[in-house]
Chains A and B, each alone.
Chain A
Amino acid sequence: MTALRFVVLFGVLLGAALLPAGPRVGAQDVTVAVEPPTADVTIGEEGILVVTITNHGQTSSGPLVAHLVVMDPKGGGSADAEDWTTELNRVVDSLAPAASHTIAWDTKPIMAGDYLVVITVAPVDPGNGSASVSPVVRFTVGQPSLLVSGATIPVSVAVPLVVVAGAVLVRWREQRRVASL
């Protein structure tokens, strides 16, 4: 009997240890909204994503980290988000119940194409819940307007030639004036 009691007691204690410490903020408690839902930019043009993180839970969320994910569906993988922004992660202080935090996320894509962008938000402390994901933002990145206009080369050649011609003409006239003195 004593051994049985020990086993039962050990089992109860083990089960208690494995139970969650208390109520947890789950995936459905922190929501991530992002505007705009679509973005149409050119290479090098800045696009700002307005990300709103809201805690719908009953307890504080604990510190959160938001991460930018860029996917290239036609490229068969994810694009390098570091090419889009210098701040891949943004840390958010603990959100009280019903509190929100808004982040203005600067992005500047460097390659043309169609991309899918999401923001994932996860608690810094893994024991505090699971990740949340924003709706997908569809990014269409076009080619930039080029500096090459038809006039660049002609201007680059013509202006120095005009200046040289002017300098030679002025010098020639001065020589004539001096000769006439």
Chain B
Amino acid sequence: MGTTLVEIYLQSSQRAVRLSVDNAGMSSAAPAVEVNRIGKRYSDGPPALTEVSFVAHRGEVTGLLGPNGAGKTTLIRIVTTILAPTTGTFDVLGLSPRQSTQIRAGIGVMPESAGYPKRKRGVDYLTYHGRLFGLAAEAAQHDAMRLLDQVGLAGRAGDRIGTYSRGMRQRLGLARALINDPEVLFLDEPTLGLDPSGKRDILDLIRQLADERGAAVILTSHLLDEIERVCDRAVILKDGVVVFDASVTAGLADTFLAATS
């Protein structure tokens, strides 16, 4: 595929840094997610996003990186149709924002700040969300049990979510994101609160989803080693602007620090 040079100006340091953007390995098929110059401005304050563009392909894991306040969650909320962009457009699975219902039917989302109803039991929570995605009651419960087993919560299926640890709720959130067998997954800090073995299991599962199911996965994380381990591509945001968008290579940490300093 070749290599193209892209000049990315780091505004904070006011110097041009030439970074190589490696297009090797990018699929020639239509992207699962295509974000085109998305901008978002809230009523007060500076813009949250400015001219953000990137693509994500099926079978690929794209890492979304950036310091706090970079706009990662805002970007995910826009692409998952929770928020409307101020400018720009996007496509998910070839669907435009006007087809938000169809978009939501085909994606799975694990928000970072999601809460869970404490009095509900884990299996009932998942079953309910399965039914909200249109599954029949029996099928929804069956899928709920299967997913709980997959994320290591089979033994706690009948317990109230209020008794779950932080890590268990993370696993439950991941199971919820998978309940509709999505083609695109958006995972906002999926390993937050997990112990090392739990993190390993989740990351392996994420990789498996991309490789075996062919899902497009977009995940955010503060942990560079996670991104290096599981992601094919990395998009770095700083102050709402994309400052890096390329294949993950060795030395990502240095690249991140350079891009966000």
Contact = CB atoms under 8 A, between A and B. Distances in A.
Are any A and B Cβ atoms less than 8 Å apart in their complex?
Answer: yes
Interface of A: 178-179, 181
A108 B58 CA distance: 85
Contacts of B123: 181
Contacts of A178: 121, 158
Given A178-B158, A181-B145, A181-B157, 5 more contacts: A178-B121, A179-B158, A181-B121, A181-B123, A181-B158
A179 B157 CA distance: 10
A100 to B, nearest CB: 73
Contacts of A181: 121, 123, 145, 157-158
Nearest to A177: B158
Nearest to B158: A181
A173 to B, nearest CB: 14
Nearest to A180: B158
Contacts of A179: 158
Interface in B62-94: none
Nearest to B121: A178
8 contacts: A178-B121, A178-B158, A179-B158, A181-B121, A181-B123, A181-B145, A181-B157, A181-B158
B122 to A, nearest CB: 9
Interface in B33-83: none
A178 B123 CA distance: 10
Nearest to B122: A181
Interface string B123-144: 1000000000000000000000
Interchain residue pairs A-B with the least CB separation, the first 6: A181-B158, A178-B158, A181-B157, A181-B123, A178-B121, A179-B158
Nearest to A179: B158
Interface string B145-181: 1000000000001100000000000000000000000
A178 B158 CA distance: 6
A177 B121 CA distance: 12
Nearest to B123: A181
A181 to B, nearest CB: 4
A181 B158 CA distance: 6
Interface string B110-128: 0000000000010100000
